[in-house]
Chains A and B, each alone.
Chain A
Amino acid sequence: MIRLRPEALEKVRRLIRDAHIRVAIDLYGVDAVPSSLVEDLLRRRVISKRDVVGPPGMLGGAYSYGVAHGRELVKQPMAHATRPRTFDPSSVSLDSWQQRAADAARERGASLILGLGEAAADGIATAAMTADEFDARQQRAIAGATATAIERREGVGRLRSRLFDTIVQDRARDLDRIAATELTGATNAGISDAIAEVADEGDRVAVLVNPDACKTCVRHYTSGGKPRIFKLAELHPWGANFKVKAANMVTTVPPLHPWCHCTLIYVPAGFGFDDSGALARL
Chain B
Amino acid sequence: MRITIEDAEPGEIAESITEIVSALLESDGVDAAVYLTDSEPMEKALAEDSPAHDFQHQYLADLHRAALSRYAAALADAVSLVEDALA
Contacts and interface: CB of A to CB of B under 8 A. Distances in A.
B82 A15 contact: yes
A22 B77 CA distance: 11
Given A19-B75, A84-B59, A246 B85 contact: no
Contacts of B37: 173, 177, 258-259
Given A157-B8, A179-B64, A246-B40, A128 B46 contact: no
Nearest to A65: B59
B56 A263 contact: yes
Size band of the B side of the interface? 35 or more
Size band of the A side of the interface? 35 or more
A58 B81 contact: no
A78 to B, nearest CB: 15
Interface in B49-87: 49-50, 53, 55-60, 62-64, 66-68, 70-72, 74-75, 77-79, 81-83, 85-86
A257 interface: yes
A168 B20 contact: yes
A250 to B, nearest CB: 15
Nearest to A20: B74
A163 interface: yes
B84 to A, nearest CB: 9
B20 A161 contact: no
A214 interface: yes
Interface of A is mostly: helix
A11 B87 CA distance: 13
Given A160-B13, A214-B42, A246-B40, A19 B77 contact: yes
Nearest to B77: A19
A261 interface: yes
Interface in A138-179: 154, 157-161, 163-164, 167-169, 171-173, 175-177, 179
Contacts of B62: 85
Nearest to A2: B86
A23 B69 CA distance: 11
Contacts of B58: 83, 85
Contact of B86 (A8, A168, A177, A261): A8
Interface stretch (A33-41, A180-188, A197-205, A224-232): A180-188
Given A83-B59, A180-B64, A168 B17 contact: yes
Contact of B70 (A26, A83, A216): A26
A87 interface: yes
21 contacts: A8-B86, A12-B86, A15-B82, A23-B71, A27-B67, A83-B57, A85-B59, A86-B59, A164-B16, A167-B17, A168-B20, A169-B2, A172-B68, A180-B64, A183-B63, A184-B60, A213-B49, A214-B42, A216-B42, A216-B45, A263-B56
Given A84-B59, A167-B17, A176-B34, 18 more contacts: A15-B82, A19-B77, A22-B74, A58-B66, A62-B63, A154-B6, A158-B6, A160-B5, A160-B13, A164-B13, A168-B17, A172-B71, A177-B37, A179-B64, A179-B68, A180-B64, A214-B46, A214-B49
Interface of A: 2, 4, 8, 11-12, 15-16, 18-20, 22-23, 26-27, 58-59, 61-62, 65, 83-87, 124, 128, 154, 157-161, 163-164, 167-169, 171-173, 175-177, 179-180, 183-184, 187, 210, 212-216, 243, 245-246, 257-259, 261, 263
